[in-house]
Amino acid sequence: MQRILILHTGGTIAMAENESGALTPGAANPLMAYNNLFQGKYNLTVEEAFNLPSPHMTPTEMLQLKDRIVAAEKDGIDGVVITHGTDTLEETAYFLDLTLPPLIPVVITGAMRSSDEIGSDGLYNLTSALKTAASPGARGKGVLVVMNDEVHSARFVTKTHTTNVATFRTPTFGPIGIMEKDGAKFFQELTNQSLCKIDHVIDQVYLLKAYAGMDGTLFAALDRPETNGLVIEGTGAGNLPPQTLPAIEKLLARHIPIVLVSRCFNGVAEPVYGYEGGGQQLAKMGLIFCQGLNGQKARIKLLVALSSGKTGTELATYMRDAIS
């Protein structure tokens, strides 16, 4: 019988409606009532790491989860399941994917419907996550996200709908597996998984989204000594309005790393256009093009890289290698 560690962190999967109909965290996690349902199938250790709505999650809590999983692996745990709120689930999943060795299965799941709502998906998703964590094929795949009968890589999965139970999708590449009755079946896998060791996390790493008519105002607000890094979701293949360039040049003069991704739902950022503010000019200025990640994922990766001490060419190479 496999030893599985379940770490509950809160979120909709652990919430119920209050008297006014609003979803709120309760004093007790309703999923704890189902522990006996799984004890005959797995040797479970169940812990409530946090009871936080997912917008309350920070890299500090993500680091605590990483450290707990490392300790559990040393103790002989065969797999880990994390329940999490869906709003920032993809960021926690990717943080762990970057900072954990891809050995034992680590599976994150959540719910789009609260525990007391008709058609609640929490218990079903938890069951699927446990099956995945116990699947031999899940070893060495990095951190996985299991929701709605699909298995996704933490690297590229994202929340695409505010309420639909099929909200988690992997644009461009698709899921790497599906759920069957007895476990997860995989038909894709990632290459070039690498571990970035960190023992602390820095802050003051920001994310901005480009828009028509954008000027340098927001960039100027970040022109301060405390700023450690910036990710920009550029338009199209990776372009910016020309009015932003003077303020961006000042940030670069401070040696603040700036990473560029696309605000598009599919595709990758690449320096194609030669006009003012186009990708070719931005690349020559020193912006780092990060392919395949959305803005929030690129911010997590930049934060992890800076926390590990990466700078200069090493940092740029690490940030570019999202796909390969």
Question: What are the residue numbers of the active site?
Answer: 12, 86
Using CB atoms within 10 Å of the CB of residue 204, give its burial: 0 to 12 exposed, 13 to 18 middle, 19+ buried.
middle
Find the helix or strand (DSSP H, E) in which 17 lies.
Answer: strand 15-17
Which of 6, 7, 30 lies closest to 17 in space, CA to CA?
Answer: 30
Phi, psi values for residue 171, rounded to 5°: -60, 150
SS3 content of the chain, % helix, strand, coil (to 5): 30, 20, 45
Does residue 172 contact residue 156 with C-beta atoms inside 8 Å? yes
Token code pair at residue 191? 């290459």
Which residues partner with 43 through β-bridges?
A: 3
Token code pair at residue 85? 């709120």
54 is in an annotated binding site: yes
86 is in an annotated binding site: yes
Does residue 54 contact residue 89 with C-beta atoms inside 8 Å? yes
As annotated, the binding site includes: 54, 86-87
Annotated binding-site residues for substrate read: 54, 86-87
